[in-house]
Amino acid sequence: MNMKKVLAVTFFFLMLCGQSVQAAEPQTLSVDLLSPNEMNSAPGIHVNVKAKVTNQTDQTIQDVMAYITLGNLSKHMTVNLEDFSADQAVVIGTLKANESKTIELPIQFVYVSEYYLYVTAMSSELPVISSSQAVPVHIVSNSHINPTAINTVMIGMPALLLLIICGIVVRRYQRRKVI
Amino acid sequence: MLRYLVQKELREQIFSLKGVILLTIVALMFSGLSYSFIGIKEVSSFSQASVIGTFMKVVLGFGMLMSIIVAASSIASEKEQGTLESLMLVPMHQRTLVAGKWIGAMAIWIVISIMAIPYLLVLGYGTGLYGTMLLYLFGFATLATGAFTAVATGLSMLVQSSRNAVMLTIALFLIVALPLFMGTTFKKTGFGSIIDHSSPLSTVINLTKELFLNKWTWGQAMLGSLSLFVFAVLAFLFLRYAMKKLSLLGGE
């Protein structure tokens, strides 16, 4: 009886292992992020992200492209890269068996935040996509904006115009009174 | 005579109660926008260059729209009210009349630009971009507004009713502003790409990023604004053409 149980458990365990081996198919494309490693900078900086895309299969893969993804850790969202001028993917084209290509993806960091940057490669031929490891990017504010000065102007300007309106209204009223 | 005409336009458009109320609304909007740069967490993550660029776009959008609406109704409304005939009987050249109307409409843009300066001074503090801001505001943005105002004044002369002139002007403005409403993909391909590259409004708006964020030199900015210069020349040629067609027929 015990032997049966042991066999059943062993069989079940082997089934599980078999499934996990099946799930971990060899990757078709691999992406290595060559640079930058980690970034601490002010907004406005231009960076050329370098990545190496490799075809790990024994067959040619056509129509390969790679693009940047930026995750905003502070807001828990992915970033719309249009503002960062990085929304265009780089078309790599055909990658022969075991061939690698190094690509450069320009990006300009414009907003202050904490990001994770990674590069993804995909092909229209394959349903599998591959991403590189992510690198942390810290864009720190270098703003010299003085809130007190802003408050002064934002209250002062409309107040000044309101005073002018009052002046005009009073003048009109006085004129009518004279007439 | 030109001086008298301009003074009359200024009295009506800016130094009147209506004009000052309009300017107060614009100031309140500038204040609200400035507050959002320091008070709203999401917006306060903008870089200072992006803040200046965003503020400039709002100044340009409001100033230009107000100027062209005033220009579009300037001569057409004189026709409607039957006062154009008496204006044209005054011993002055037709060119002086048109110039007076154009300057009167442009004065709104100039006043809005001057109103924006204190905001820009505090928003751009420490960036070293004051010269670039003034170049943009009183150079490229003023040229764009001047050209659009010239087109609106021209339409005002060709069209008999001010309502039609304003509608035509706004339609034209929306056509050149089309890239602003288009998605990235549409903007970068086919028809969208053509409009985006040829629209003078698009050029002057995209210039904010190039000047303030990418620190373009003046030469680069001039080269990058060729479509704006071409549009300005065409706009003033159109104004000249419309001036020749100006008739004394009454409004609709």
Sole residue written with tokens 């300057």: B103
Question: Closest-CA residue in chain B for A82?
Answer: B184
Say which of B37, B118, B125 has its CB closest to residue A157. Answer: B118
Say which of A141, A144, A155 has its CB closest to residue B127. Answer: A144
Q: Quick one: tokens of B104?
A: 């009167």
Beta-carbon separation of B213 and A44 below 8 A: yes
Is B131 in the A-facing interface, judged by CB distances under 8 Å? Answer: no
Is A26 in the B-facing interface, judged by CB distances under 8 Å? Answer: no
Could you read off the pLDDT of A39-92 as tens digits, one per residue?
888 888 889 999 999 998 888 999 999 999 999 887 888 888 888 888 889 999
Give pairs for A85-92: CB < 8 Å, separation 24+: A87/B184, A88/B188, A89/A65, A90/A65, A90/A66, A91/A63, A91/A64, A91/A65, A92/A53, A92/A64, A92/A65, A92/A66, A92/A121
DSSP secondary structure code for residue A46 in this structure: E
Is B118 in the A-facing interface, judged by CB distances under 8 Å? Answer: yes
Is A41 in the B-facing interface, judged by CB distances under 8 Å? Answer: no
pTM greater than the 0.80 cutoff: no
Is B29 in the A-facing interface, judged by CB distances under 8 Å? Answer: no
Beta-carbon separation of A112 and B47 below 8 A: yes
Radius of gyration of chain B, Cα coordinates, nearest whole angstrom: 19
Is B43 in the A-facing interface, judged by CB distances under 8 Å? Answer: no
ipTM above 0.95, yes or no: no
Bond from prior residue into A127 cis (ω within 30 degrees of 0): no
Residue-by-residue pLDDT tens, chain B, 252 positions: 778 778 888 888 888 888 889 999 999 999 999 998 887 766 667 788 888 999 999 999 999 999 999 999 888 888 888 777 777 777 778 888 899 899 999 999 999 999 999 999 999 998 889 999 999 999 999 999 999 999 999 999 998 888 899 999 999 888 888 877 776 667 777 777 787 778 888 899 989 988 988 888 889 999 989 989 999 999 999 999 998 887 655 444
Say which of A111, A141, A157 has its CB closest to residue B27. Answer: A157
Is B24 in the A-facing interface, judged by CB distances under 8 Å? Answer: yes
How far is the C-alpha of A87 from the C-alpha of A69, rounded, in Å? 9
Nearest-CA neighbor of B136 among B62, B212, B34, B230? B212
Give chain A positions within 8 Å (CB) of B51: 143, 145
